[in-house]
Amino acid sequence: MASPSTLATPGPPITRHISPLSQIGHRVATPLRWWARSLPLRVVSTTFVASLVVLLLGGFLLMEQAKAGVLAEKRQSAVAEAQAAINRAQQQLYAAGATSGNVNVVLTELAEEVNQRGTTSRQYYVVLRGPVSDLRQTAGVKADSVPQALQDRVLADTDGTFLTYTTVNYSDPDQPSQPGMAIGSTLFAPGMGSFAIYLLFPLTEEVNTLQVLQQAVVTSGALLVVLLTGIAALVARQVVTPVRAARLAAERLAEGQLDDRMVVRGQDDLARLAISMNHMASELQKQIQQLEELSRVQQQFVSDVSHELRTPLTTVRMASEVLHDAREDFDPLAKRSAELLQTELDRFEALLGDLLEISRFDAGAAVLSPENVDLRALIEDVVRAAAPHALRAGTPILLHAKHGCTAQVDRRRVQRILRNLVVNAIEHGERKPIDIFLECDDNAVAIAVRDHGVGFEAAQARQVFHRFWRVDPSRARTVGGTGLGLAISMEDANLHGGWLNAWGRPGRGAQFRLTLPRRPDTILQVSPLPVVPRDLTGIQGATREVTRTLVAVPEQDVPVPTSDDAAPGQAEESEP
C-alpha cells in the first residue's frame, strides 16, 4: 500500500493584476483583428491612407511651387520698383545740391517723397540712414524692420542693390507684423558722401493669396479623399460580395448541404467563379454520393456475409465440439488437429462478432444503454476473466485506485474496451507487471492500463486504433485477438462522448487511457489521469492511492522493472 501524501492547504484567492501595458495591447489588438479579418476594411483603409499620403505630398509640392512662383514674381516687381525709386531719389538728390547744413532736411524730404509714392501704390516703405548714422524711418513703419545683415552689406558695398526677406514691423501696435522683402542700396550726395536707403515691401497680398490657395487645396483634397474612400468601399463591396457568397456556399457544402448552389449574375470573372463553384459542388456531390453508395454496399456486404456465415459456423462448431469431446480416443495427430480446430473456430467466431459490431458503427446503428456502473468492480470482473491468460503469460496485474468511481455508462461496451486493453497489455507486456489506474472527479472518470513491454513509436500513437494494424506484423499472437479490438474500443469511447488515448515508447512499454463523462450530458474538458505514465514523469496523485494485486504469479517469474527503465516525461500523444 502506498504511503499517503501530504494534502495541500488551500491558500487565499489569487488576484490577477492586469498591467496598463497589457490593457493598451488589448485595445490595440482588437482593431488589428478587425483589420485582419475584413477584406473590405483593408481595401478601404488602404485606399484612405494611400490617398491621404498622395494628396499630402501633392498638396505640399503644389503649395511649394505656388509659393516659389508668387515670391519670384513679387521679387521681380519689387526689384524693378526699388530700382526706379532709387534712381529718382538719386536724381532729386543731385538736383537739390545738398550741403552739410541742409542735408538732413533734404534727406527727410526725400524719404517722405519716396515713401509717399510707395504708400500711394501700396508697394513699399522707405528707411534712410542719415549723416549721423541713425536710421530715419517714414511714418507707419519701424526702422528695426531692416535686418542688420542687410545694413552691414550695404555699408560694405556701396555700388550694388541687395535684397533679403524680413519681417515688417509697424509703428501702430494694433497692426500685426507682416512678412516682407527689404531692398537696400546707396545714395550719393555731392560733397557729402553716400547715404544708405532701404525699401520695405510687405507681402500681405501674396500671403493672403497663398492662404486662399492653401484652403482650396485642403478642402479639395479632403473632399477627394472622402470620394476615393467611398469609391474604394463600393468597389470592395462589389468584389467581396460574390467572394463572401462563395465562402458561405463552401461552408454550407462542408456542413453537408450538397444541394446548395451560388447565384450566377453576369458574365465577368466573378460570374465564372460562381459557375466554377457550382460545378465543383455538383462534382463533389456526385463523388460523395458514389462513396456513400459504395460504403453502404460495403457495409451491407460485411453485414450480410457475417450473418450468412453464422449458419455454417454453427454447423461446423457442432461438428468441432463432437470431435473435440472425443479427442482422447484419437491418435496424437488427430487429437492436436481437433484442438487447433476448436481454437481457430473460437477466434473465427470472435472475428465475426467484431465484424458485425464494426458494421453497426459504420451504419450508425450503434446505440448506448447507459446505467449506473461501479467501474472499480467492473475492472475487477474484466481482470478476473483475463486472469487465465495473465497466468499463462506470467504477467501480474495491479490495480491502483484511490476510491470507487461510478458513472452512467454502457456496461457492455466499457467492459469490452477494458477487456481489449487488458488483453492487449498481456499480449505485449513481456511478462512484466501491468498497472491499472482508476481516478475520477466531478465530471469525468479515467482508467489507464500501463504495461512495460515492447511499446511502440510515438508516431504510431494513432495508428494503433486502425483496423487490423499491428506494431510488429511478424510477431505471433499468443492470446488470439482479431485485430479489431482497439478500433472497436475507439468507437465505443466516441459513442460515450469520451476519449481513448495511447502513449508508447519502444522498450518502455505503453499506456492506454480511457476517459468517460460521468453523466451522458457532460462534455469532457480534462482527464483526471495524464496520458504519459506517472512512473516516467515522477508526478504522483494528490491523495493516498490504494494498490491491490488482482493477478499474482510466483515471485521468481516476476521481472519487476528497475529504476533504469524510467525516463523523463514525454509529450502526450493522441490527445483529442
Confidence category of residue 445, pLDDT binned at 50, 70, 90:
very high
Q: What pLDDT is attached to residue 385?
A: 86
What is the average pLDDT score of the chain?
77
Task: Check residue 516 and give its pLDDT.
Answer: 92
CB atoms within 10 A of CB 17: 6
Cα 446 from Cα 100, distance rounded (Å): 121
In the chain, the percentage of residues whose pLDDT exceeds 90 is: 6
Q: Which of residues 423 and 478 earns the better pLDDT score?
A: 423
Q: How confident is the model at residue 515 (pLDDT cuts 50, 70, 90)?
A: very high
Nearest Cα to 189, choosing from 92, 82, 83?
92
pLDDT digits (tens, 9 = 90+) for 78-92: 888 888 888 887 777
Domain ranges of the chain: 75-203, 278-366, 369-565
CB contact at 8 A, 566 and 492: no
Helices (H), 326-374: 332-363
Q: Cβ contacts of residue 384 below 8 Å, gap of 6+? A: 550
Q: Band of the pLDDT at 340, cuts 50, 70, 90?
A: confident
Q: Across residues 1-9, what is the average pLDDT?
A: 38
Burial class (CB in 10 A: 0-12, 13-18, 19+), 313: middle
Which segment of 109-123, 185-199, 443-457 scores lowest on mean pLDDT?
A: 109-123
CA 396 – CA 392 distance, rounded (Å): 10
Please work out, in degrees rounded to the nearest 5, the angle formed at the alpha carbon of residue 316 by the alpha carbons of 312 and 321: 150
3-class DSSP assignment, residue 31: helix
Architecture of domain 75-203: 2-Layer Sandwich (3.30)
What's the fold here for domain 278-366?
Answer: Helix Hairpins (1.10.287)
Q: Which position has the higher pLDDT, 377 or 8?
A: 377
pLDDT band at residue 574 under the 50/70/90 scheme:
very low
Task: List pLDDT tens digits, range 70-128.
Answer: 888 888 888 888 888 888 877 777 776 645 445 556 666 666 666 665 554 556 778 87
Using CA atoms, how far apart are residues 136 and 141, in angstroms rounded to an integer?
10
pLDDT at 37 over 90: no
Q: How many CA atoms, within 13 angstroms, populate the side-chain half-sphere of residue 475?
A: 14
| Cβ-based neighbours of 199, under 8 Å, separated by 6 or more | 78, 81, 82, 85, 86, 114, 118, 124, 125, 126, 127, 182, 183, 184
Q: What is the pLDDT of residue 450?
A: 92
User: For domain 369-565, is the CATH number 3.30.565.10?
Assistant: yes
What is the rounded distance in angstroms from the CA atom of residue 67 to the CA atom of residue 16?
Answer: 60
Angle at 42 between CA 37 and CA 44, to 5 degrees: 140
Burial (CB count <10 Å: 0-12, 13-18, 19+), residue 340: exposed
The 10 Å Cβ neighbour count of residue 113 is 16
* Averaged pLDDT for residues 445-468: 84
Confidence of residue 465 (pLDDT cuts 50, 70, 90): confident
In terms of pLDDT, which residue wins out, 140 or 75?
75
The rounded distance, in Å, linking the Cα atoms of 386 and 393 is: 11
Task: Specify the range with the lowest mean pLDDT, choosing from 190-194, 231-235, 329-333, 486-490.
Answer: 190-194
Could you read off the pLDDT of 153-180 as tens digits, one per residue? 888 887 888 998 888 888 888 888 889 8
| pTM for this predicted structure | 0.47
Query: What average pLDDT does range 243-271 have in this prediction?
Result: 77
Residue 132's pLDDT is 45
DSSP-assigned beta bridge partners for residue 165: 181
Cα separation, 171 vs 206, whole angstroms? 22
Grade residue 7 by pLDDT with cuts at 50, 70 and 90.
very low
High-pLDDT (> 70) share of the chain, %: 76
Higher per-residue confidence, 10 vs 313: 313
Output the pLDDT for position 446.
92
Q: Lowest mean pLDDT: which of 383-392, 490-499, 530-539?
A: 530-539
Range from 35-49, 225-239, 435-449 carrying the lowest mean pLDDT: 35-49
Amino acid at 39: L
